Chains A and B, each alone.
Chain A
Amino acid sequence: MTILFAFLVVGLLGALLGVGLASAAKALAVTKDERLEQLEGALPGLNCGACGYAGCASYAEAVAGEETTLTLCSPGGPEAASELGRIMGVEVDVSGTKMVAQVHCRGGRDVSEYAFEYNGLEDCTALYLLYGGDKICKSSCLGLGTCIRVCPADAIGYDDEGRIWVDKDVCISCGKCIEICPTGVMKWIPYDADYIVACNNTEPAKLVRKYCKVGCIACKICEKKSPEGGFVVENDLSTIDYSITGDRSVAVEKCPPKCIIPVTVREIPEVPAEEPVPVAVAEPASGDGEPERDGDETS
Chain B
Amino acid sequence: MTYIGIIITFVFINNFILTQFLGLCPFIGVSKNVDSAVGMGFAVTFVMSIASLTTWAIYRWLLVPLNLGFLQTITFILVIAALVQLVEMVIQKISPPLYKALGIYLPLITTNCAVLGIALIAVRSGYNALESFIAGFAAGLGFLLAIVLMSTLREKLDAEWVPRPFRGTPIAFITGGLMALAFMAFDKALLRNLIG
Could you list which residues of chain A lie within 8 angstroms of chain B, going by C-beta atoms? 2, 5-6, 9-10, 13-14, 17-18, 20-21, 24-25, 28, 30, 121, 294, 297-298
Contacts and interface: CB of A to CB of B under 8 A. Distances in A.
A9 B66 contact: yes
A9 B66 CA distance: 9
A6 B71 contact: yes
Contact of B92 (A17, A30, A294): A30
Given A9-B62, A9-B66, A9-B68, A20 B86 contact: yes
Contacts, number: 47
B89 A28 contact: yes
Contact of A2 (B67, B86, B89, B93): B67
Nearest to A25: B89
Contacts of B164: 294, 297-298
A30 B79 contact: no
B195 interface: no
A2 B67 CA distance: 8
A5 B64 CA distance: 12
A11 to B, nearest CB: 11
- The interface size bin for chain B is 20 to 34
B194 interface: no
A294 B164 CA distance: 10
B78 A14 contact: yes
Instruction: State the majority secondary structure of interface residues on B.
Output: helix
Which 4 residue pairs across A and B have the least CB separation, nearest first? A17-B82, A28-B93, A28-B89, A30-B92
Given A2-B67, A6-B71, A10-B78, A121 B86 contact: no
Contact of B90 (A6, A28, A297): A28
Contact of B86 (A5, A24, A297): A24
A9 B65 CA distance: 12
Interface of B: 62-63, 66-68, 70-71, 74-75, 78-79, 82, 85-86, 89-90, 92-93, 159, 161, 164
Given A9-B68, A20-B86, 15 more contacts: A2-B67, A5-B67, A6-B68, A6-B71, A9-B62, A13-B75, A13-B78, A13-B79, A14-B78, A17-B79, A17-B82, A18-B82, A20-B82, A28-B89, A294-B164
Contacts of A24: 86, 89-90
Contacts of A294: 164
12 contacts: A9-B68, A9-B75, A10-B71, A13-B62, A17-B82, A18-B82, A21-B82, A24-B86, A28-B89, A28-B90, A121-B159, A294-B164
A2 B62 CA distance: 14
A25 B88 CA distance: 10
Contacts of B85: 21
A47 to B, nearest CB: 14
Nearest to B62: A9
Nearest to A294: B164
A25 B89 CA distance: 7
Contacts of B62: 9, 13
Contacts of B70: 6
A25 to B, nearest CB: 6
A10 B82 contact: no
A121 B159 CA distance: 8
B98 to A, nearest CB: 13
A5 B70 CA distance: 12
B47 to A, nearest CB: 16
A132 to B, nearest CB: 20
Contacts of B63: 9
Contacts of A2: 67-68
B75 A30 contact: no
A18 B89 CA distance: 14
A121 B65 CA distance: 65
Nearest to A14: B78
Contacts of A297: 161, 164
B154 to A, nearest CB: 17
Given A10-B74, A298-B164, A5 B92 contact: no
Nearest to B63: A9
A298 B164 CA distance: 8
B86 to A, nearest CB: 6
A34 B71 CA distance: 44
Contacts of B93: 28, 30
Contacts of B159: 121
Contacts of A28: 89-90, 92-93
